[in-house]
Chains A and B, each alone.
Chain A
């Protein structure tokens, strides 16, 4: 009687304990499974960041994970920055996001233009604007329109380049009254790129092709595209010159426009802070911390990029 009660008691305890152990085991298993799914994403991040320092990706409870949360967080940071600097902050940041469609590479498009133009139009004429630009470039006309809007704004416009603003992004930077960048952040040349049957080529290279090979042996389409390339270079040069009007004397503006738009160098050549300054641009070293805080929200993506 006593012994059987004893057995019953221990049996019950053992079963319950086993139950608890099983549950704990299950939770552990689940955590490992989700951990494994997040695993490869860190590698991809590194690939895309191209060696850029990525913040810790260990999930902490207060980190936003949904699109709405991330956007709200960004909004708060931007409002802080606006208060801190007494400006209107507009961003044009082209980075892959949690919700980016597969195969979609964010770059300057006409939609960006409309959005940015509307923001500038809504800003009162005496309010300075801080424009945060992070882009590989894109549609030239779209960039030109934004550059025009930046130049036309009566109050001071500061362009901030925390990492890079290539091609069309550089064009917009040239329009600003002040460029804030780091020692290691870069602008790029603004020479036009021409889509040819063989891929995108700089207009300047097409001009070189025409000079170096007998015309009879160059394909018809290349001859036509090279001619179009010359017009595009004229367009880009005149535009840059106009952007720099009032920032330096016209002769210098002319040579800077030629240097950046003629296609003397590869389209990926970094125009660093020192080079930009030596061209006569108004460059200030240092980007506010809040801007980097904003960029940290881009690492909030808890999932791998869709389709990758």
Chain B
């Protein structure tokens, strides 16, 4: 009898041990499986948010404050190196910018820059770093005038591009620094998404009674805008290359002889008589290094 009781006890004890260890093993297994994903079933949106947070908080990616501090420091170094005042008009979507729209030249830019030019001593040269696809012609005109009226030397630095209305600002400078593949673009006014000269051209190509009233009015404003642009470019250039050549260049850039997307390269800029120096200071390139191209609002354009 004793032996049997003992056997049952042993069996019981063994059974409990086996079951408990089995339980423990499965628990361990479960914990292992669930560890990568949060244990509580969260909605997909929450998971995405968490993922976004993780992406944003990558180690080694500098914060906005760090980036801005680095830029300020580079600008200071560049100013010391060249003995100039460095101003910048750099338009791009920063990782932290809220709008989906690409920034362009607006009146606010001209207000800021006009003030900065005014604060610069009259005998201090200005280095103007420009990187823009254009914007409001009126705002660009104001900046161009301010730079032209600055008594000391004004150098415009184009690391990559200054298109459309940005070209006015470039033409105002005494010297242009650009890379071999930096570009300018024609500064023909754009009327309702169309080149001004082409809008005017329809009056000659199509019988007038078949042209809509709206188009005729557009053509009229295109004529006035083009006249403005041409005279303005002429005025910007006249003291640098003489009246005749300035007139020709103005007509070349605003006359609608080429598509508005035609790149004006370093060679072309030099050929039309602009004072172009090849090469951009190293510090400017370092400044652009602080800009996370391909980051921000264009996540599809990550490269490596």
Contact = CB atoms under 8 A, between A and B. Distances in A.
A104 B198 contact: no
Interface in B77-110: 92-93
A23 B24 CA distance: 11
A284 interface: no
B259 A228 contact: yes
B272 interface: no
Nearest to B256: A231
A248 interface: no
Interface in A86-143: 90-97, 99-101, 104-106, 109-115, 117-118, 121, 140-141
Nearest to A192: B259
B8 interface: yes
Contact of B195 (A34, A91, A121, A228): A228
B68 interface: no
Given A20-B22, A145-B161, A121 B301 contact: no
A232 interface: yes
A224 B205 CA distance: 10
Interface string B266-304: 000000000000000000010011000110011111111
B18 interface: yes
A6 B261 contact: no
Interface stretch (A67-75, A181-189, A271-279): A67-75
A265 interface: no
Given A9-B12, A115-B301, A115-B303, A17 B198 contact: no
Interface string B184-195: 010000000111
Interface in A8-31: 8-10, 12-13, 15-17, 19-20, 23-24, 26-27, 30-31
Interface string A137-169: 000110011001100100000000000000000
Interface string B7-45: 011011001101110110011011001100100000010
Report the contact-size class of chain A (Cβ under 8 Å from the partner).
35 or more
A133 to B, nearest CB: 12
B202 A223 contact: yes
B34 A10 contact: no
A216 interface: yes
B206 A118 contact: no
A191 to B, nearest CB: 13
Contacts of A16: 16, 19-20, 22-23
A56 interface: no
A224 B180 contact: no
Interface in A47-74: 66-68, 71, 74
A8 B206 contact: no
A77 B160 CA distance: 29
A232 B261 contact: yes
A20 B12 contact: no
25 contacts: A2-B5, A5-B12, A19-B26, A23-B27, A27-B33, A30-B34, A66-B54, A96-B300, A104-B299, A111-B294, A111-B298, A111-B301, A114-B288, A114-B293, A117-B179, A145-B161, A149-B181, A217-B210, A223-B202, A223-B205, A224-B194, A228-B259, A231-B195, A232-B259, A234-B258
Given A99-B55, A100-B300, 16 more contacts: A2-B4, A9-B8, A12-B19, A16-B16, A23-B27, A24-B26, A75-B304, A90-B303, A111-B92, A114-B92, A114-B288, A117-B181, A121-B285, A141-B183, A148-B181, A227-B202
